Each structure stands twice: as C-alpha cells, then as structure tokens.
Homo-oligomer: A and B are copies of this chain.
Amino acid sequence: MDRLFLAIDVGGTRTKVGLVSEKGKVFYRTYISTRRYVRNRNLLINALIKVSRDLMLKHNLASRKAIAGIGIGLPGPVNYARGIVDFLPNIPHWKNTPLKKIIQNKLKIPTFIDNDVNIITLAEWKFGAGKGADNILCMTLGTGVGGGLVIEGKLYRGASFAAGEVGHVPVNEKGPRCNCGGTACLESYVGNRIILKTARKLFKKTDITLEQLSDLAARKRNALAIKIWRETGEKIGIVLSGVVNVFNPERIIIGGGVANAGSYLFGAIRATILKRAMPSQSSAVKVVPARLSDDAGLIGAMLLVKEGLKLKG
C-alpha cells in the first residue's frame, strides 16, 4: 500500500492541511484561517497540532506508523537543515521558530519544513511541468517573485538555504529600490502590484484586476493589455537570459497568478531569451507554465518528507 503523509501548506491568509499519498494523490484537505492565530506564534502552532491530530483520528491514522511523516511549507525563509523558520514577512512573531522540533516532539512523527517556493518546485518537478528534467528553475509570479532550483536531480538550497531568488536579480544598474534592500530587482518591475499600478494608469480604471488584464489580452486582444504583458515578459526574459547563461537549465517553469496571462507573457519571455541568451543555453531550455493547481503545496510537502527520509520512488 502507498505510504501516507500529513501535508501542511501555511499561507499568509489561510493554511491548508491534507493527507497525501506518496503517489501524489491528495485524499483529504481542510483549511484553517491563519489570520485567526497571528497574535502569537503558539496560537498557530497549537492550531496546526490540533488540526493534524483531528485529521489522523478521523481517518483512523492515530497510530504513529500510519503516517510516514509530516511536511510543512511556510511563506518565508527557512533554515531547512536546522528546521527553523527564520521569519515570516506576512505573519508576525515567527522569528527563529524551531518548528520542526516542536511538531516532532508533540506528534512523534518525523517532520520536515521548508519555504513554500522550494515545496512547489519539488511538486512541479516530480508531478508537474518538470517531470523527467534534472536541471530546473521554477519561478512563481505573485506579489513577490520567487524561485526554486533543481540541480542534477536534487533540490538545491544553497549555502544558507536561500537559493533561487530570481525575483531579486537586477534588471538594471539603477532603478527602483526593492523591499529586499536591493536596487532595480526584477520583482520591482513585475510584481503584481507594479503590474496593476501600470494597468490602472493606462486604463484610467482604479479597480482593474489581474484576471481582467489577462482576459483583456487573451480574449479581447486589447492592445494596451497586450503591451503590459509583453513588457512584463521582456523584463522577465532579460533576467532569465542571465540566469540561463549561468545555470544552463533544461526547463524553466513559471507559475503564479500572473502566469495565467498566457501566450503574450510566455511569448515575450521566450523571444527575449532566444534573442539575448547564448545559443547553446537558449536552445537547451524550454520555458513552460506550471501544471499543478492549488494542491502543489500539499503534494510538495509530501515530497519534502520523502526527500528528507530518503524514501525512494
């Protein structure tokens, strides 16, 4: 029988908890509101423990061996090896939280934690758009622009577990100051808020949404909307040209809300890489949309445990 895993996907607004098989099947999912438990970190930690216990009882999985492990994805930097959450930009009071140890001690089940982009990267690699590839950059476009790397068939975390920050590659020498402390980072050109700001100005509409902007381009062939997506794609393509020249991946997977803009965005990204990256590197790489939907965080959390426990298959 397939092994079963408890998977937790902590988000700034809500947290998803589920049971996932090692084949990537999500048997059950439930949600708790993250916002309800932000006054101190123990509130959220206790809620996570309670929902996990309830879920295991409900499914007759309360014996320790029924669950092979617990995987937790978090929206912020995590010291993977030590199992410590460095901090969570959108959830207060989490600085230096040894979450792995806390959960393991309470539930007596092997637990692994990592940042959510690494977890999505694991999911897309094993079950999504990255299947079969050994060298991958997985990029998430949202309010922030994140990234994860698979190198030689292994998730690559870097010397301080901070690798993959493709949103913080400079597009120019000079430019807008970024939240990260840097200058002219990709994120400050193509983060959701920036795209919306441009769209609101160009369309003279203060309530336009990203979905509408995608729709305007994709279905209505609106020239202004197409222009916004093309320029967004060019900026991303410029940074990816450099990343492709250095890292020479075989696949780049792009997900997140903005990625739904579809062909204009992807067309501009691909054209820019072909134009600007070196021929050997640009001809070796495919730029593809992410394939997993909302469950990527749960599936990736399961894969995190399999990776941590060195389970095959």
B243 touches A246 (CB 8 A): yes
Taking CB atoms and an 8 Å cut-off, the chain A residues in 220-247 that contact chain B are: 235, 238-239, 241-243, 245-247
9 chain-A/chain-B pairs, Cβ below 8 angstroms? A162-B245, A163-B246, A165-B246, A168-B245, A169-B241, A169-B245, A171-B173, A172-B172, A239-B242
A173 touches B172 (CB 8 A): yes
Which among B162, B172, B181, B246 is the interface contact of A164 at CB below 8 angstroms?
B246
Which among B152, B170, B235 is the interface contact of A238 at CB below 8 angstroms?
B170
What B residues does A284 contact at CB under 8 A?
Answer: 158-160, 162
Judge whether A86 is part of the interface by a CB distance below 8 angstroms. Answer: yes
Contacts from A to B (Cβ < 8 Å) = 77, 86, 134-135, 147, 149, 151-152, 154, 156-166, 168-173, 180-183, 235, 238-239, 241-243, 245-250, 275-281, 283-285
B246 touches A181 (CB 8 A): no
Which among B181, B238, B246 is the interface contact of A173 at CB below 8 angstroms?
B238
B151 touches A156 (CB 8 A): yes
Smallest beta-carbon distance A289→chain B, Å: 19
Which among B154, B166, B242, B247 is the interface contact of A163 at CB below 8 angstroms?
B247
